[in-house]
Structure formats: C-alpha cells, structure tokens
Amino acid sequence: MTNRPAHSTLASLGWSSFFADQVKVSEADLAPRRIASVHRARIEAIDATGPAKVELSASANTADFAVGDWVLVDPLSSAFVRRLDRKTVFQRRPEVGRSRQLVAANIDTLLIVTSCNADFNIDRLERYLIMANEAGSTPVIVLTKADTVDDVGQFQIQAEALQRDLAVIAVDGHSTAAHTLLSPWCGVGQTIALVGSSGVGKSTLVNSLTGLESHQQQKTGTIREYDAQGRHTTTARSMHIIPGGGLVIDTPGIRTLFVSDVTDGIETLFSEITELAPLCRFRDCTHTHEPGCAVQAAVKSGTLEAGRVERWRSLVSENRDRTPVVSGPRGNKIAHKKKY
Ligand SMILES: Nc1nc2c(ncn2[C@@H]2O[C@H](COP(=O)(O)OP(=O)(O)OP(=O)(O)O)[C@@H](O)[C@H]2O)c(=O)[nH]1
Ligand SMILES: [Mg+2]
Ligand SMILES: [Zn+2]
C-alpha cells in the first residue's frame, strides 16, 4: 500500500456522494478513512495523505470490517467512530451455521480470476458469478495464463456463454499489457477486487497493475503441476493504489465457494430462464414436468440448453439448503433482506 495517486484526493480513493451524504452535520469534524487491510488484531487505512491509522476499542472485532470499507475517525487520536454503509459487498458463508465472511466492500468491479488450465471450471465460475451479482458489483471474468495455451478462444467462448453481456478478458498476468486490458475498470476512484482459487495469478496481476518495486510487491507462489492448485500464498486481504487511477484489492484464494444467502444473483446469471418463467401455465412451475412449461418448451426447441436448466435447479437448491432460516411470527422464512 505504498503508491500514492498523483493528485491525492478522497475521490481518487473512491469517496463519492454515496458516502458523503451519510456524514451528519455533527460529524463534519471527523475524518473519513478507507480500510486498506484487515488483520486479526488491527486494521490499517488510507486517506488522501497516504497510510493512516484507525484505532479500535479493545472489544472491537476486526472481522466486522472489510477491506474497502469507509470509516469515520477522530482526526487527532484516529479513534474509530463509525463505519459508513456499504455500496457493495462481496461476502461468503464458508460453512452452514458459520457467520458470513467479508471479502471486500465498496467494489465497483469484481474480477473473477481463473486460469487457462485445470482450474477452469464452469460450475465454479457460475458460483462466483452468482455471488458477484449478489454483491451488487459488475463481474468480469479474467482468464490468466493465456500465454500457456495455443487456443485461448475456447475458454473465452465458454466463459462468455455463462451470463448475458459478460465481459471476459484473457491475459498474461506478468505482462504490462494486463494493465491496458484492465484499464476500462480502473478509472480514477474505481475499485476492483480479484477473487478466485489459489494459484490462478491474482497477486501476479496486482503486481503488474501497481508496478511496485519487488520488495513492496505482493508475494506470489508456485502451483502443483498435476492439478494447477496453488499453495495459498496470500493470507490477508489488502488494497493497493494503481498508478494512473483506481484501486485493486487482492484476496486469499478461496477453496470452495458455496452459494448461500442469495436473493437475485441466481436470476441475473440465468436471466434467459427467469424471463421465460412468467410464460409458464402455472405460476409455481418448477420447469420439470408441468404441462405448458415455457422453459421445457425452449429446451425442446433447442433455444435453451438442458444442462443450463439442470445447473440452475441445483444452484437454487444449494442456496435454499445453505441459507439460514429465520423464524418469525409468520413461520419460517428465508433471510431475504439485503443488509450491507
Ligand atoms: N505463465 C503464466 N504464469 C502465471 C500467470 N499468472 C500467474 N502465474 C504464475 O502462477 C503462480 C501463482 O501466481 P499467484 O499470483 O501467486 O497466484 P494467486 O492467485 O495470488 O494465489 P494465492 O495467493 O495462493 O491465492 C506463480 O508461479 C505465477 O508466476 C500468467 O498469466 N501466465
Ligand atoms: Mg495471491
Ligand atoms: Zn415452467
């Protein structure tokens, strides 16, 4: 976190009216700071002058903060006052019964990173897309290690077919061209976050984007030859300034991403299915065996792939099984309300 934007302003760090509007008149003397890294016992931040402190009380839990959060602090003591509401948040529930883990907040674009090797997996990408849609940020698929395959086009075609209007780019993460390819999402004040399995090249991309000297770079690690799995080199989430504009958040590799707590992220991924549903004869059609089912009709006519419908069904059911049920006066219902 050592680069500084050429003209350092809060806006170049992602500050906007969305956050400014939350500051009350009585809070005008407080200083806004953006969380740049979260550790077990402390958090680090940044403001227009560079790295800045946020002092938490002894009882605070750093797990309540996400990299990318905006907080208000006392400008003299750096004592934490409050966190501002998030514009977007990427979070995941690692296991049923455990609380959700904050991966990154206030991100404009979520870069789902996968490599052109054994890591490339449709089922995995669909899960990332659902959780990215749910986060409220635009997903982009980044195919790394494009330099290691003869035909990157076959990966690109499969990835583009996953969701309507999905941007897919192929890169050699070591090359300076990676910066140019990602520049549409790295405008001044824009925040991108990199997520994906260990070893796909997230930190390698961060280093290419920030252009830092080797001693300041994110550590990168080797992968196993036979299955392309990395060794979980990155262990903490951190935010870095991209010279020329934008901020990038590096995250540790995720072993398995489960779908849970989703309200509309699945519908966005499978929009061609959800758009047909109102045309089915029955309002509660499950699109399996019902007469007058528009989804099954589309499969029969060849305009919709049967595999897509199967994957939609299985992801809907995974979401149902992994989302905690809150009991209320009107009986059990799924926790549907989005809360950032
Ligand atoms: N040939 C090639 N190798 C790459 C590319 N991107 C990353 N690598 C290599 O892949 C390995 C893993 O890269 P990292 O950047 O450490 O991967 P990561 O996604 O940060 O992994 P974790 O921190 O463990 O989650 C390193 O040996 C990199 O040099 C690429 O585009 N092409
Ligand atoms: Mg890494
Ligand atoms: Zn139907």
Cα–Cα distance for residue pair 9/32, rounded to 1 Å: 11
For residue 164, report the distance from its CA to the centre of ligand 3, in Å. Answer: 21
Tell me the pLDDT tens digit for each residue of 32-77. 999 999 998 899 999 999 999 999 999 999 999 999 999 999 999 9
For residue 315, report the distance from its CA to the centre of ligand 1, in Å. Answer: 29
**Burial (CB count within 10 angstroms: exposed 0-12, middle 13-18, buried 19+), residue 261:** buried
For residue 290, report the distance from its CA to the centre of ligand 3, in Å. Answer: 7
Q: What are phi and psi of 295, to 5 degrees?
A: -70, -50
- Ligand 1, atom nearest to 230 Cα: 24
Cα–Cα distance for residue pair 87/20, rounded to 1 Å: 12
Confidence at residue 3, expressed as pLDDT on a 0 to 100 scale: 58
> Is a pLDDT exceeding 70 seen at residue 111?
yes
Cβ(234) – ligand 1 distance below 6 Å: yes
Residue bearing the CA closest to ligand 1, atom 32 = 145
- Ligand 1, atom nearest to 220 Cα: 16
Residue bearing the CA closest to ligand 1, atom 9 = 201
Confidence at residue 226, expressed as pLDDT on a 0 to 100 scale: 80
Q: pLDDT band for position 300 (50/70/90)? A: very high
Q: Are 110 and 139 in contact (CB under 8 A)?
A: yes
CA 211 to chain centroid, in Å, comes to 23
Longest dimension (CA), the chain: 69
Pocket test of ligand 1: the residue of 103, 181, 204 to mutate, having most ligand atoms within 8 Å of its CB, is: 204
Q: Report which bound ligand comes closest to the CA of 204.
A: 1
Cα–Cα distance for residue pair 117/135, rounded to 1 Å: 27
Tell me the pLDDT tens digit for each residue of 251-289. 999 999 999 999 999 999 999 999 999 999 999 999 999
Confidence at residue 225, expressed as pLDDT on a 0 to 100 scale: 80
pTM (predicted TM-score)? 0.93
**Burial (CB count within 10 angstroms: exposed 0-12, middle 13-18, buried 19+), residue 79:** middle
Q: pLDDT band for position 122 (50/70/90)? A: very high
What is the average pLDDT across 232-252? 94
Tokens 């003299």 sit at which residue? 76
For residue 220, report the distance from its CA to the centre of ligand 2, in Å. Answer: 6
Of 228 and 184, the one with more pLDDT: 184
Q: Which helix (H) or strand (E) holds 269?
A: helix 265-269
What letter does residue 108 receive in the DSSP assignment?
S
Q: pLDDT band for position 331 (50/70/90)? A: very low
Confidence at residue 7, expressed as pLDDT on a 0 to 100 scale: 53
> Is a pLDDT exceeding 80 seen at residue 1?
no
Residue bearing the CA closest to ligand 1, atom 2 = 145
For residue 122, report the distance from its CA to the centre of ligand 1, in Å. Answer: 20
For residue 310, report the distance from its CA to the centre of ligand 3, in Å. Answer: 13
Cα–Cα distance for residue pair 251/110, rounded to 1 Å: 11
Cβ(101) – ligand 1 distance below 6 Å: no
Residues with CB under 5 A from ligand 2 (ion): 202-203, 233-234
3-state secondary structure of 325: strand
Q: Are 282 and 292 in contact (CB under 8 A)?
A: yes
Confidence at residue 213, expressed as pLDDT on a 0 to 100 scale: 78
- What's the chain's Rg over C-alpha atoms? 21
The C-alpha angle 284, 290, 295, rounded to 5 degrees, equals: 80
- Ligand 1, atom nearest to 222 Cα: 27
Q: pLDDT band for position 97 (50/70/90)? A: confident
What is the average pLDDT across 188-208? 97
Cβ(221) – ligand 1 distance below 6 Å: yes
What value does the mean pLDDT of the chain take? 92
The neighbouring-strand residues paired with 52 are 45
Cβ(174) – ligand 1 distance below 6 Å: yes
Pocket test of ligand 1: the residue of 120, 174, 220, 232 to mutate, having most ligand atoms within 8 Å of its CB, is: 220
Cα–Cα distance for residue pair 224/318, rounded to 1 Å: 30
Say which range, 5-9, 83-87, 265-269, has the weakest mean pLDDT: 5-9
What is the average pLDDT across 147-164? 96
Task: Say which amino acid occupies 222.
Answer: T
